[in-house]
Amino acid sequence: MRFNEDAVTPISERWLRPIGFALILVGLAIIVGSLLICIEMLFPIYLRLWRQAPIVETVYPAFFMIAGLLLGPVTLLGGFHGLLFRKPLTSRSPVWFKIALWLFKVGAVLMIVVGPALAIGTTAALAAMDYQTCSQLRRSGSGWQVFWVKNDGFCFRPDSYIEDNWPCKDMNGKTYCLRADGL
């Protein structure tokens, strides 16, 4: 069964420019958010693995955010098309639609295939490098966050955290913090 575009009630032309502008803002937010999540949560994992850091923190939903780097431009493309041409992005605008469809397909592959493969590969690399999970380091309510430790001595229940989730323990009236970045 084919989709009949003529059966759909068209959006009034006066609403296409505001909707296009809103889609551009949403697309930019998706791209910036995905980029920030990749920079803040994914890249440090691999830097810490390379440095053989004592603690590696993984936030597994971040692996799926790489899809936003291509799904955001799809939204941008639809927004620009609505803003410039006052028409929705449909298969009747062949060049734009083909580009958007290709970006959407690649973004879906990133989310369905590459994201899980990166998460599984990272977990396998951590296990192969003799890291062990430590649930004691995890903050309350952070179910998707997993801490991996290189040494059992680094697995303890922290009294506080500083900076980049570095755990701290209070002993004899002093606070000792473990630098988790491997420097």
The pTM of the full predicted model, rounded to 2 decimals, is 0.75
Residues 6+ apart with CB under 8 A from 10: 88
Position 6 in a domain: no
Position 138 in a domain: yes
Q: How many domains are contained in the chain?
A: 1
Position 4 in a domain: no
Supply the range of the domain harboring residue 173.
12-177
Give the model's pLDDT for residue 4: 61
Phi-psi region of 171 (alpha: psi -120 to 50; beta: other; left: phi over 0): beta
Position 183 in a domain: no
Tell me the pLDDT of the chain averaged across its residues: 82
Give the model's pLDDT for residue 113: 93
Position 7 in a domain: no
Q: Would you state the torsion angle of the CA atoms of residues 47, 122, 177, 161, taken in this order, to the nearest 10 degrees? A: 110
DSSP-based three-state secondary structure for 57: strand
20-69 residue pLDDT tens: 889 889 999 999 999 999 998 899 899 988 988 888 888 888 998 888 88
Give the model's pLDDT for residue 165: 65
Query: Taking residues 107-133, what's their average pLDDT?
Result: 92
- Owner of token pair 């955010």: 65
Position 133 in a domain: yes
Position 73 in a domain: yes
Position 2 in a domain: no
Rounded Cα–Cα distance for residues 177 and 161 (Å): 8
Give the model's pLDDT for residue 155: 82
User: How many beta carbons lie within 10 A of that of residue 20, not counting itself?
Assistant: 21
